[in-house]
Structure 1
Amino acid sequence: MDVPTARTFLAAAATGSFVAAARRVHASPPTVTERIKQLEHVLGARLFDRDRRGCRLTATGRRLVEPAKAMVRAWDEGCARVALPPTFEAVIRLGGQHALWPSLLIPWLGEVRDQFSSLAVSALAAAPAQLNRAIEEDELDMVFLYDPVQRLGVRVEELAPDKLVLATARPGLDWKENFVRLNWGRSASDALMARLDEWPSAGLELDLGALSLQWLVDMGASGFVPERMARPYFAKGLLEPVEDMPSIDFSPYVCWRSSMDEGLAARLVDLAKRGMTT
């Protein structure tokens, strides 16, 4: 089994579709089909049950998933190490939800560069769904996000307690009159709707992350925001919390692959936690 075939097998296993797998590995559907057929021929075993709805792993196919992941992981790590300049000893792949970069991850990344001079870093900003998928499929080593999914082989830890609170830039106005729905993820929206007696029809939904708070200030609007993110705005009087309104737990988390070096992971997590307290 070569690496492209391993990636194709894992993509089909994850998506349940040869067509979707083709998009993920940037190949044509016939190429995906041929790779899987050749792999099944070499192994002498059927890896997928196929029908009109897609494909499902057989018991044999499920046993191949972890070895295939290990193969791809070893190849990617080898390629990354070969590409490193002599001054670096290791590389880490990081990802963070857009909303966490301005206040947490940009300063944290600067500290990482200062304290781990021999560690090369590859970092990106992405949506929670992409981050959850990337760390599950071993495309990233560590991710920071608000809505983690518990996965086998991935450790999850809360960075600091936080909650979504209703904030307004015009405290003299009924918040329902200038309410804007700020998108912090499906689970957060569902929890808020369950807590509110009335969910105003805002006519506007924004998925701007940390930029949402400045938008509330500029437009004189109201919306639910992470309390920690809003504290500087509260301190300056740019926003005010709306009293007697429900809030929901909404804490940022860090997730990392169990295969990471334990000492390095612990130091990086500790550095991020200390950044949340400043």
Structure 2
Amino acid sequence: MDVATIRTFLAAAAAGSFSEAATRVHASPSAVTERIKQLEHELRVRLFDRDKRGCRLTTAGRRFLIPAQNLLRAWQQGCEQAALPQRFTQAVRVGGQHALWPSVLIPWLKDMRDARPDVAFHATAAAPAQLNRALEDEEMDLAFLYDPILRRGLRIEQLASDRLILVTARPSQPWQDNFTRIDWGENAAAELRARLGDLPAAGLDLDLGILSLDWLVATESCGYVPERLATAYLRAGKLTPVGGMPHLEFSPFVCWRTSMDEDLIGEMVVVAKQWMGGLLA
């Protein structure tokens, strides 16, 4: 059993077709067929049922799917670790929600690189669902996000207290007339609906993270945003809180795998909290 065979099995399982799997792994259809046959011979089970429509995993194939994904993941991580220059003692895969990168995580990453030159970082910006899934699948070690999911093998700690507030770039206009829906996750959307009922439908939903604040300013609109991220805009008078409107608790968290080095994690969390706290300083 080799890595190419595992990749081929996973490609066929995802594509539902040996010919499509051949395209994905850059091999001939006959090579894909031969690899799957060899794998089935080694495992002594049939992994796929095939017909004119394509291929489907058998019960044994479905059982082998997650172990195969883990095998490939372990191989990729091993390759990354082995390829690290000698000056690095460990590597950390870190992810963050898009909204947190500009004002918090970019300076945080710079500080961590300066403080820990022995640590190699792989940094990713992604949506909360992607970050939660990457943590669950052990494809990420550390993530900063607003809507974490606690699972076995993970720890979660709040970075700072924050809330969603309604702000506007045109205080003289009723908020209902220029409201923009900004996506901060399904939990936040559900709570807003519970508090305010059906929100005005402007025909525009934004999932731009902190760039949504620039949109509000440019279009003189209003919308719900995290108060800490909006601090600079509020101080500059570009945005103004809408009075009498409810706010929602909406705090950022850091999640990490419990297998990580405790001293390194402690240092990372302290630095992140300092930058998060500095938004309101």
Check whether TM > 0.5: yes
Secondary structure at 2:230's aligned position in 1? helix
Name the SS of the counterpart of 1:223 in structure 2. strand
1:10–1:65 CA contact under 8 A, matched in 2: no
| CA distance in structure 1 between the partners assigned to 2:62 and 2:11 by the alignment | 13
Superposed displacement of residue 102, structure 1: 0.6
For residue 123 of structure 1, give the secondary structure of its aligned residue in structure 2. Answer: strand
SS state of the match for residue 95, structure 2? strand
In structure 2, relative to structure 1, the CA distance for the partners of 1:122 and 1:215 (3 Å cut) is: same
**Number of the residue aligned with 2:157:** 157
Counterparts of 1:83 and 1:145, CA distance in 2: 29
Alignment CA distance shift 1:12-1:199 (3 Å): farther
Structure 2: gaps of 5 or more residues: none
Instruction: Choose 130-139 or 113-122, whichever is displaced more.
Output: 130-139
Instruction: Give me the whole-angstrom Cα distance separating, in 2, the residues matched to 1:199 and 1:33.
Output: 54
**Any conservation in 2 of the 1:49–1:58 contact (CA below 8 Å)?**
no
Confirm or deny: 8 A CA contact 2:11 2:25 kept in the other structure. no
| Alpha carbons 1:95, 1:144 under 8 Å: kept | yes
User: Helix, strand or coil for the counterpart of 1:124?
Assistant: strand
Deviations 1:197-256 (A, max 9, x none): 341111222222111112212221100001111122222222111122122222222222
Which residue of 2 is the match for residue 202 of structure 1? 202
Q: TM-score, normalised by structure 2?
A: 0.80
Counterpart of 2:233 in structure 1 is 233
2:216 maps to 216
Is this contact kept in 2: 1:18–1:32, CA < 8 A? no
**What is the deviation of 1:4?**
4.5
3-state SS of paired residue (1:151): coil
Q: 1:238 to 1:65 in 2, by over 3 A?
A: same
**In 2, Cα distance between the equivalents of 1:259 and 1:211?**
35
CA change 1:256–1:66 in 2 (3 A) is farther
Give the distance between the partners of 1:246 and 1:257, measured in 2 at CA: 35
Deviation at residue 144 of structure 1 after TM alignment: 1.5
Which residue of 2 is the match for residue 82 of structure 1? Answer: 82
Query: In the TM superposition, what is the alpha-carbon distance from 1:258 to its structure 2 partner?
Result: 2.9
Going from structure 1 to structure 2, the CA distance change for 1:153 and 1:217 (only over 3 Å counts) comes to: same
Contact kept? 2:11, 2:24, Cα under 8 Å: no
Query: Equivalences for 1:236-275 in 2 at 5 Å?
Result: 236-275=236-275
Report which stretch shifted further, 79-88 or 199-208. 79-88
2:149 aligned partner, one-letter code: V
Q: Please, which moves more after superposition, 112-121 or 138-147?
A: 138-147
Q: What letter corresponds to residue 129 of structure 2 in structure 1?
A: A
Runs of at least 5 residues in structure 1 that lack an aligned partner in the other structure: none
Alpha-carbon distance in structure 2 between the residues aligned to 1:73 and 1:265: 23
CA displacement, residues 97-143 of structure 1 (integer Å, 9 cap, x when unaligned)? 11110111001001111111111111121222322222222222212
Instruction: Answer yes or no: is the 8 Å Cα contact 1:167–1:222 preserved in 2.
Output: yes
Larger-Rg structure? 2
Q: Relative to 1, partners in 2 of residues 1:5 and 1:256: Cα closer, same or farther, differing over 3 Å?
A: farther
Return the letter of the residue paired with 1:184.
Answer: W
SS of alignment partner, residue 87 of structure 2: coil
Sequence identity, in percent?
54
2:179 aligned residue: 179
Contact 2:10-2:68 within 8 A present in 1 as well: no
Match of 1:132 in 2: 132
Q: Distance in 2 between matches of 1:190 and 1:111?
A: 36
Q: Given that residues 46 and 60 in structure 2 are in contact (C-alpha distance below 8 angstroms), is that contact kept between their aligned partners in structure 1? A: no
Aligned to 1:229, the other structure's residue is in SS state coil
Query: CA separation in 2, counterparts of 1:33 and 1:258?
Result: 40
Q: Could you say what the CA RMSD is over the residues aligned between the two structures, in angstroms? A: 3.4
- The 5 A counterparts of 1:15-26 are 18=16, 26=24
Cα distance in structure 2, aligned partners of 1:273 and 1:9:
43
Q: How does 1:4-15 map to 2 (within 5 A)?
A: 4-6=4-6
- C-alpha distance in 2 between matches for 1:261 and 1:180: 43
CA distance 1:8–1:147, shift in 2 (3 Å): farther
